[in-house]
Amino acid sequence: MKRSTFLKLFLVSVVLLLSIFITNNKVFSENWVFFATRTSNNVDFYYDKDDIMNLSPEIKRVWTKYSEPLKEMLEHRIKIGASISDFSSYAYTLDFLEIDCKKKQYEIINYTHYSKDGETLDSSEKENLKPESIRPGSIMEGLHKAICP
């Protein structure tokens, strides 16, 4: 094999591998850590330990992941008037949250529901965010204890 052909193949391989790594970086960085269970329906909640954003010493942004029972997800969507089309393949939800560690408040910035195939079923970005208090014994208190000093 000629040296120039080898170098071309090598460079193409490097570029291909780098592009795969860059486009899938979120997949490689996920480190889901358990922080709470909702006892009413045994739903476990996780946060991505490797992707916590420190906006200030008190303010953090973090991804959480959980999987509602399908029946409850469908009932909730019907109750709020949302579409249940394609939700028979629902697998899990990712929420992006902002936590104020000092004030013990949180805001849901956005959420996305995913199918078993990893396809987006529904997503929403919140506007005019209003902080909610973190109540004692709540799921959010579990997250607060996990990520706040």
For the segment 115-132, what is each residue's pLDDT rounded down to a tens digit?
Answer: 999 999 999 998 777 899
Strand partners, 38: 43
Question: Could you tell me if 35 and 92 lie in one domain?
Answer: yes
At 87, which amino acid appears?
Answer: F
pLDDT tens for 85-104 read 889 999 999 999 999 999 99
Contact 110, 139 (CB under 8 A): no
Question: Could you tell me if 10 and 68 lie in one domain?
Answer: no
Domain count for the chain: 2
Task: Show the domain range for 7.
Answer: 1-25
Question: Could you tell me if 114 and 65 lie in one domain?
Answer: yes
How sure is the predictor about 4, in pLDDT bands with cuts at 50, 70 and 90? low
Q: Is this model's pTM higher than 0.85 or not?
A: no
Q: Which two tokens stand for residue 133?
A: 């208090």
The closest alpha carbon to 60, from 26, 5, 109, belongs to 109
Question: Could you tell me if 66 and 10 lie in one domain?
Answer: no
The C-alpha atoms of residue 7 and residue 108 are separated, in whole angstroms, by 49
